[in-house]
Structure 1
Amino acid sequence: MANTNRPWLANYPPGTPAEIDPGQYRSVVALLEECCDRFRHRPAFTNMGRVITYGDLDRLSATFAAFLVNDLKLAKGDRVAIMMPNVLQYPIVIMAVLRAGLTVVNVNPMYTPRELKHQLDDSGASAIIVLDNFAHTVAEVIGDTSCRHVVCTGVGDLLGFPKSVVTNFVVRHVKKMVPAYSLPNAIRFNEALGRGTRSKLGKVEVGPDDLAFLQYTGGTTGVAKGAMLTHRNMVSNMLQSSAWIGSNLREGEEVVVTALPLYHIFALTANFLVFARIGGFNHLITNPRDMPGFVKSIKSIRFSALSGVNTLFAGLLNTPGFDEVDFSRLHLTLGGGMAVQRAVAERWKKVTGCALLEAYGLTETSPAACINPLDLKEYNGSIGLPIPSTDVNIQDDDGNVLPIGEIGELCIRGPQVMKGYWNRPEETAKVLSPDGWLRTGDIARMEPSGYVYIVDRKKDMILVSGFNVYPNEVEDVVAQMPGVLEVAAVGVPDEKSGEAVKLVIVKKDPALTEEAVRAHCKANLTGYKLPKYVEFRESLPKTNVGKILRRELREPAAAP
């Protein structure tokens, strides 16, 4: 494509290529195996005081992969669910599943039984690896799914004796963080590793078009859909992101703090894959919501990079002691998942001395599509420039490309764009054109310089701390209550999380209470989907054909 159609290239940082070669690695497996070989003696991950090297990652993932193939008899293409926060087992299991020619299904460990059952059913997962703390959720639904194998692991399983025993005892019996569960046929993680050592993993051919990840994302229908991300998609986005920030990273020297969960596509690509390629050292934060604990843990680290969402940065800035952290090596702070607020970005620069750069992406784009240049001196309100091998345009509702400066739907094309939605050709056709353009649902404009600015969202999606909440899913749950006649869920501005969920309900039963609604939601929805506000009304605003006017419910006057 001629440069005249890519005005952003004129503003690329020096040395940044216009294109990347997706064929540089045949698969994510080839990439990770190269990393493990090149940086075998370098530290790869640390958590709770234990460090594993790239050599350990290579050995342990090969062992676990042998268990999956030889003991569980999983066949190429089978799906394996992973339900864990950031612990050392996570990167090992990801690499093992991919090495075995299987597909990773990342699961939010905070899911309710209803949400977990949908994801296991929809993906057809054959196995699930789960942290003990969340195994009770698996136990509640596993019998009603086709998932045949469960591997359970404790927080301390890889910490080495005696720390592993002590940690697991404290978590289970002192802090009582492991609710009782019954999974009689479950296999322990360390037992699985033991079994894996008794056999070898044969060579599994994994190609660029094979599915690497099924990353679940919501839809306006309220049904979570699995975005099919191939090995080529993930390798491409790693290479694109690396090309963009690569000159700023020093091979074998980077120390990155990973507070976003690895089940989130942002951390998966940016923190795991991009930093693995240069032998980066990843500090996994298991519970970033414990801000005092988070700050305490990073005080002892001279870290050079940190990625997160706006709420994470704001939370750190408001935690006592954060201004005493050593920022002398910090040279990359990347914000994504939700809009970065100007006040947070400016305060971050003042406290840390490092600019907070905004990036933009979607689950469907593996995720990065636009990133601000690393030499940006201050916050500019833009989501940045399209990254290498990425085309962006602004289209109207009929798919016509609009002139520069006009407002319309942001559309993206590139090797990082998903293959489609798992088993949902109709949903795929709604967002993916035959020539590869993905309709993002975000309303944007592009300046002559190529910088893209998000104006609004076309979808009714609510973005809470970087996580998608789809109104129809919340409404479907609330509508199950006998006392509810009608319900609408909308996003309203929230200083802490960017947006918060607000419910507007018309009662069928006058005795229905806010407390009952909240209790029902808590039993059926993950924490970030829970309503912050509940309002009862006599009626809901509607169009003449009966469609609820969410925009009216979102107006500032409608927010408490």
Structure 2
Amino acid sequence: MSTQRPWLASYPSGVPAEIDLDEYSSVVAVLESACERFRHRPAFSNMGKVLTYGDVDRLSRTFAAFLTGELGLKKGDRVALMLPNVLQYPIAIFGVLRAGLVVVNTNPMYTARELKHQLNDSGASAIVVLDNFAGTVAEVIRETSCKHVITTGLGDLLGFPKSILTNFVVKYVKKLVPAYRIDGAIRFRDALSRGERHSYKTAGLTHDDIAFLQYTGGTTGVAKGAMLTHRNLIANMQQASAWLGVNARLGEEVIITALPLYHIFALTANGLVFMKFGGLNYLITNPRDMPGFVKEMSGVKFTAITGVNTLFNGLLNTPGFDKLDFSSLHLTLGGGMAVQRAVAERWKKVTGITLIEAYGLTESSPAACINPMDLPDYNGSIGLPIPSTEVSVQDDNGNHLPMGEVGELCLRGPQVMKGYWNRPEETAKVLSADGWLHTGDVARIDDKGYVYIVDRKKDMILVSGFNVYPNEVEDVVATHPGVLEVAAIGVPDDKSGEAVKIVVVRKDPNLSADDLRAHCKANLTGYKLPRYIEFRDSLPKSNVGKILRRELRDAPKTAA
């Protein structure tokens, strides 16, 4: 498999087999090239305020000067960012990188325990945090080695008087900012002012320098920091832009960025790829407010949107979404979790655009496979390996399996991480000596090179010796018109070892367990049928909307 690449014959016209890694020396070089080329074009928009590429260049340069000149941070030091999608985010992220520092992306919804672990594990010297979440920082900061805290309000970059009004409403009307005290904390706007007193010095970055510590693996114990180098990020940006570039219009793309930029999917696919194209990232701060999200989209002639299955499903079920103007939309990219056929088909019906499924992991920066952009209809595949990427299906002993056989999906390419930060044993578990990244996903590859994910290895349900894959069960249940969302899990069973349980959020309040059993019986073989059916008002989800089967497995068993 490693020497044969049958997928190349299926590549869309104009997509190269290999990418040019040497076009950029660092992620900073990508930013500087885009800012020079598209200086007067809009780069980021949020809450009615637009930053041009020139603004991003100037402000990130000033923030970099503050970090090195005022705080005295040195090349390789780590800086944590605890921000949702606000305009401060791109300024902070590019400022940190321009200073030669390492970005530690931090989920704003972290508990004190999770934040303390990440700050101590990464050895972060500084953290930039939105006021709304600063209470968590205040709770743990003294128990970490983090010396500097930079705080910011939601409206800080919106301009006068909107910034003052927004911060007042957020704090005193909506009461979204809990009281906190952090001695010595610096305001973001003050940091920019102070940065202007210092000269910006380029950091002399190379491909081998670490750009991000991207934490992952919290579902299997302690979270680990994937070391993503400038080479990894440049590679993935070049791979994805080569794939999308045949359709992208330079300086004209407007992408809806609802997934948080602290998540690797949006960071690379939206932040970097569309920066190279001179596109506008339209930042959605709170996509969970679906009516508000749809209202924001109604004023935008957007050309692209990325998301996870639950986001697309949520939009489709929000009144007014089907009335939006989709005339400019030409790219919808789904990843992060399996895209369900029912959602993809409805998306095509409403928008006229195929929902293109892609696949990646934090450890691969993230993209590994993407379907062709001109795909006429959803095909159930995660697509073809992107340029300069090899894939292989392997058994538990690392043997490469023939086409069509099911095994663990492994991948190799320049986007694969350097390893886990300070965890050589964990790195050795997933990265083989010859560079294969073991994904933990069960897959097969067809004779045209298309890859099909069967399921997560650890989520597989074993019923009387038969493998049941939750994705398949969920796909079937999701086609029932009365179902809004569904998750399938395995629960212990005295007779069969494990049994299938589904947890369902109703769209139709009259939907019964018997209705679902009949629907499943018509579409699934006997051992795959759900033995337990539970109805809930909502399903537990990660910060990007991925359904957390683990939390459902840990809950008490309920029959219906």
Q: TM-score, normalised by structure 2?
A: 0.84
- Decide whether the 8 Å contact of 1:11 with 1:449 is kept in 2: yes
1:417 aligns with: 416
SS at match of 1:459: helix
- Decide whether the 8 Å contact of 1:79 with 1:103 is kept in 2: yes
2:466 aligns with: none
Report the Cα offset of residue 307 of structure 1: 0.3
Report the Cα offset of residue 157 of structure 1: 0.3
Could you tell me how far apart the structure 2 residues matched to 1:491 and 1:120 are? 39
Deviations 1:151-198 (A, max 9, x none): 000000001111111110110011100011111210000000000011
SS at match of 1:253: coil
- Decide whether the 8 Å contact of 1:35 with 1:277 is kept in 2: yes
- Decide whether the 8 Å contact of 1:127 with 1:147 is kept in 2: yes
- Decide whether the 8 Å contact of 1:220 with 1:459 is kept in 2: no
2:43 aligns with: 44
- Decide whether the 8 Å contact of 1:311 with 1:496 is kept in 2: no
2:517 aligns with: none
Deviations 1:105-143 (A, max 9, x none): 000000000110110011010000000000000000000
1:225 aligns with: 224
SS at match of 2:246: helix
Could you tell me how far apart the structure 2 residues matched to 1:53 and 1:311 are? 31
- Decide whether the 8 Å contact of 1:139 with 1:181 is kept in 2: yes
Counterparts of 1:377-526 in structure 2 under 5 Å? 377-460=376-459, 493=502
Cα gap change, 1:158 to 1:346, in 2 (>3 Å): same
Counterparts of 1:308-327 in structure 2 under 5 Å? 308-327=307-326
What amino acid is the match of 1:282? N
What amino acid is the match of 1:47? N
1:112 aligns with: 111
Deviations 1:200-251 (A, max 9, x none): 1112111100000000001665010000000000000000000111111000
Counterparts of 1:288-303 in structure 2 under 5 Å? 288-303=287-302
2:126 aligns with: 127
What amino acid is the match of 1:435? D
Could you tell me how far apart the structure 1 residues matched to 2:408 and 2:436 are? 11
Could you tell me how far apart the structure 1 residues matched to 2:64 and 2:231 are? 21
What amino acid is the match of 2:49? R
2:84 aligns with: 85
Could you tell me how far apart the structure 2 residues matched to 1:336 and 1:527 are? 10
Could you tell me how far apart the structure 1 residues matched to 2:243 and 2:546 are? 34
2:62 aligns with: 63
SS at match of 2:245: helix
Moved over 2 A (4+): 459-464, 490-497, 526-537
SS at match of 2:411: strand
Cα gap change, 1:527 to 1:368, in 2 (>3 Å): closer
Report the Cα offset of residue 459 of structure 1: 2.9
1:269 aligns with: 268
Could you tell me how far apart the structure 1 residues matched to 2:504 and 2:233 are? 33
Counterparts of 1:205-354 in structure 2 under 5 Å? 205-218=204-217, 221-354=220-353
SS at match of 2:452: strand
Deviations 1:395-420 (A, max 9, x none): 11111101111111100000000000
Could you tell me how far apart the structure 1 residues matched to 2:158 and 2:71 are? 25
What amino acid is the match of 2:443? A
Could you tell me how far apart the structure 2 residues matched to 1:496 and 1:372 are? 30
Cα gap change, 1:224 to 1:376, in 2 (>3 Å): same
Q: TM-score, normalised by structure 1?
A: 0.84
Deviations 1:498-555 (A, max 9, x none): xxxxxxxxxxxxxxxxxxxxxxx99xxx997694587547xxxxxxxxxxxxxxxxxx
Could you tell me how far apart the structure 2 residues matched to 1:200 and 1:128 are? 22
2:375 aligns with: 376
Could you tell me how far apart the structure 1 residues matched to 2:37 and 2:219 are? 44
Percentage identity across paired residues of the two chains: 71
Report the Cα offset of residue 455 of structure 1: 1.2
SS at match of 2:232: helix
What amino acid is the match of 1:177? L
1:176 aligns with: 175
User: Bigger shift: 409-418 or 4-13?
Assistant: 4-13
Report the Cα offset of residue 433 of structure 1: 0.9
Cα gap change, 1:129 to 1:535, in 2 (>3 Å): closer
What amino acid is the match of 2:399? N
Aligned residues: 491
Could you tell me how far apart the structure 1 residues matched to 2:177 and 2:41 are? 33
Deviations 1:452-502 (A, max 9, x none): 1111211359999xxxxxx9xxxxxxxxxxxxxxxxxx99655669xxxxx
What amino acid is the match of 1:170? V
Deviations 1:366-385 (A, max 9, x none): 00000000111111100000
- Decide whether the 8 Å contact of 1:6 with 1:450 is kept in 2: yes
Cα gap change, 1:67 to 1:124, in 2 (>3 Å): same
Could you tell me how far apart the structure 1 residues matched to 2:81 and 2:238 are? 25
SS at match of 1:5: coil
Cα gap change, 1:535 to 1:77, in 2 (>3 Å): closer
SS at match of 2:458: coil
Unaligned runs of 5+ in 2: 461-469, 475-488, 490-498, 507-539
1:202 aligns with: 201
- Decide whether the 8 Å contact of 1:110 with 1:527 is kept in 2: no
Could you tell me how far apart the structure 1 residues matched to 2:556 and 2:306 are? 39
- Decide whether the 8 Å contact of 2:310 with 2:546 is kept in 1: no
Cα gap change, 1:527 to 1:322, in 2 (>3 Å): closer
